[in-house]
Amino acid sequence: MQPVLDYLKQNQDRFVAELCDYLRFASVSAQPPHKPDLLACAEWLVAHCRKIGLDARVCATEGHPIVVAKTRREKNSSRPHFMVYGHYDVQPPEPLDLWTTPPFEPRLEGRNLFARGSTDNKGQNFAHLKAVEAYLQTGTPLPCDLTFVIEGEEEVGSKSLSGFLKENRKELACAAVVISDTGMPDVTHPALTYALRGIIAFEITLHGPARDLHSGIFGGTVENPAMALAQLLAKVRDGQGRIKIPGFYDGVAPLSKYEREQIERYPLSDAKLKKLLGVKELFGERGFTATEQRSSRPTFEINGLTSGYQGEGSKTIVPAWARAKITCRLVPDQKPARIRKIVCDWLKENCPPTVRMEITAGHGAEAYLVSPKSAPAQAALRALEKAFNRSPILMREGGSIPIVNEFKQILGADSLLLGLGLPDDNAHSPNEKFNLDCFEKGQRMSAHLWQELAGIV
């Protein structure tokens, strides 16, 4: 192991330069004009994987390609097999004017590397590639076989990956999936995430008059769809932060005493959180701490609200329609289909007769929960402790990685979520960054992980 750790130590500058090359691809999966950038990024990744000694290929899909890279298989080897999952696609960088320097021109400032995709997810996933490189380049035998699956559609719902998993079920069968695409509280606190929230997405449109109307001539005599939507949405939540839709909390598994104790160890005070988020006051469901609220409680969130005239100056109209983009984050054991139904039925029942409601369904995924006491989880905790020299905390994360459910259903494998992102990394926001201490310690964690995991399978 020592040669592996030494190799990592000696090559950090080159690793950062390589990560910068990776970050220069504008692999924005949501925006069709960037399709060639996704392909170029996937091809760069394959070339890089080959250079470090992996067998790698680009797998075309109906959407963006999937990169598969494997350690060379030894004949008749009985080494256990693990998968490392990540994504090379990134969120749109807009609004561009809020970036200090352009999103696809990586900039190093102290120990922070700024670029779109740096923490989510190129940098985090790259740490695992560098750990394998260290094994391969120092001739240190890996105690297991590894397959990297790095997709290009995570930020748009992983549409192609589930089919790919089914088609390649045999090749991808593994004892566990390792994912670094979540967070940790700060550089000195390593964490194992044992739960993720699920999600349902949909759009509501309220249709009013056949066209935008003069608000002086007709205002006061027809329903204003924007007002109707505002009043409808306002009824969803009470003053204590609880969702009033009947049945919304049915089946929500209560937190055990053990879990509440673990969650309490999360080292972020309300005062720090307020500052980080730039709010005067925190607001959430009464009876739960902030960490509980954003990790283990379901939400109804308005992601976008549009109606009427949005341009400069004023325009006196009654708009023809109003629209809201909604997501609900779900927790164990809420079933996405049931929540979607009760929420949509409730919205329809509460819609005034003066407007017509249209609901379009978006993506959905169940929450994810594995026992932090399982043998693989315990192995991961040991690897984290070795790399960070500190006892890791256990956490539930509020974000979603829908594909983990399919790793379980299709491949029968649990996911180990070993996040390297920090709360102030600005994932999905302007000036996204990745901390190089997290990068380096993440590589060491990965190097230790294969020893720890292979030992228990």
Q: Which residues of the shown chain bind ligand BES in the complex (CB under 6 A)?
A: 120-121, 154-155, 157, 181-183, 196, 199, 363, 397, 399-402
Query: For ligand BES, which is the closer residue by CB, 45 or 199?
Result: 199
Q: Which residues are registered as beta bridge partners of 214?
A: 317
Residue closest to ligand BES (Cβ): 399
Least distance CB 318 / ligand BES (angstroms)? 34
Stretch that binds Mn ion, among 5-13, 117-125, 246-254, 367-375 (CB under 5 A): 117-125
Query: For ligand BES, which is the closer residue by CB, 29 or 307?
Result: 29
How far does CA 290 lie from the centroid of its chain?
19
199 is in the binding site of which of Mn ion, ligand BES, none (Cβ under 5 to 8 A by kind)?
A: ligand BES
- Does residue 432 bind Mn ion (CB under 5 A)? no
> Would you say how long the chain is, in residues?
457
Q: How far apart are CA 287 and CA 293, in angstroms?
A: 9
**Sheet order of strands, 198-207 included:** 299-307, 321-330, 198-207, 356-365
205 is in the binding site of which of Mn ion, ligand BES, none (Cβ under 5 to 8 A by kind)?
A: none
Query: For Mn ion, which is the closer residue by CB, 182 or 262?
Result: 182
Stretch that binds Mn ion, among 40-48, 119-127, 363-371, 438-446 (CB under 5 A): 119-127
Least distance CB 256 / Mn ion (angstroms)? 29
Least distance CB 237 / ligand BES (angstroms)? 20
CA-based Rg of the chain, rounded to a whole angstrom? 24
Alpha helices in 176-269 (DSSP H): 225-234, 257-264
Least distance CB 201 / Mn ion (angstroms)? 14
Least distance CB 193 / ligand BES (angstroms)? 7
Least distance CB 54 / ligand BES (angstroms)? 23
Query: For Mn ion, which is the closer residue by CB, 118 or 291?
Result: 118
Query: For ligand BES, which is the closer residue by CB, 181 or 366?
Result: 181
Q: How far apart are CA 329 and CA 32, in angstroms?
A: 27
- Does residue 120 bind Mn ion (CB under 5 A)? yes
Residue 41 Rama label (left phi>0; alpha psi -120 to 50; beta): alpha
- Amino acid identity of residue 16, one-letter, is V
Inter-axis angle of helices 159-167 and 403-411, to 10 degrees? 10
Q: Do the beta carbons of residue 422 and residue 183 sit within 8 Å?
A: yes
Site string for Mn ion, 13-52 (x = CB under 5 A): ----------------------------------------
Report helix, strand or coil for 383. helix
- What DSSP designation does 347 have? H
Query: For ligand BES, which is the closer residue by CB, 225 or 402?
Result: 402
Least distance CB 142 / ligand BES (angstroms)? 26
Query: For Mn ion, which is the closer residue by CB, 432 or 440?
Result: 432
Q: How far apart are CA 250 and CA 297, in angstroms?
A: 12
Among 49, 44, 52, CA closest to 24: 44
157 is in the binding site of which of ligand BES, Mn ion, none (Cβ under 5 to 8 A by kind)?
A: ligand BES
- Does residue 153 bind Mn ion (CB under 5 A)? no
CA end-to-end distance (rounded Å), the chain: 19
Query: DSSP for 16-79?
Result: HHHHHHHHTS--BTT-GGGHHHHHHHHHHHHHHHHHTT-EEEEE--SSS-EEEEEPPPPTT---
Least distance CB 211 / ligand BES (angstroms)? 34
225 is in the binding site of which of ligand BES, Mn ion, none (Cβ under 5 to 8 A by kind)?
A: none
265 is in the binding site of which of ligand BES, Mn ion, none (Cβ under 5 to 8 A by kind)?
A: none
Among 73, 87, 175, CA closest to 125: 87
Among 20, 153, 17, CA closest to 90: 153
Residues 277-316 that bind Mn ion (CB under 5 A): none
399 is in the binding site of which of Mn ion, ligand BES, none (Cβ under 5 to 8 A by kind)?
A: ligand BES
Q: How far apart are CA 435 and CA 191, in angstroms?
A: 15
259 is in the binding site of which of Mn ion, ligand BES, none (Cβ under 5 to 8 A by kind)?
A: none
Among 437, 443, 398, CA closest to 418: 443
363 is in the binding site of which of ligand BES, Mn ion, none (Cβ under 5 to 8 A by kind)?
A: ligand BES
Stretch that binds Mn ion, among 120-128, 233-241, 247-255, 273-281 (CB under 5 A): 120-128
Q: Do the beta carbons of residue 130 and residue 445 sit within 8 Å?
A: no
Query: For ligand BES, which is the closer residue by CB, 182 or 299?
Result: 182
Among 5, 13, 6, 164, CA closest to 85: 164
Least distance CB 196 / ligand BES (angstroms)? 6
Q: Which residues bind Mn ion (CB under 5 A)?
A: 120
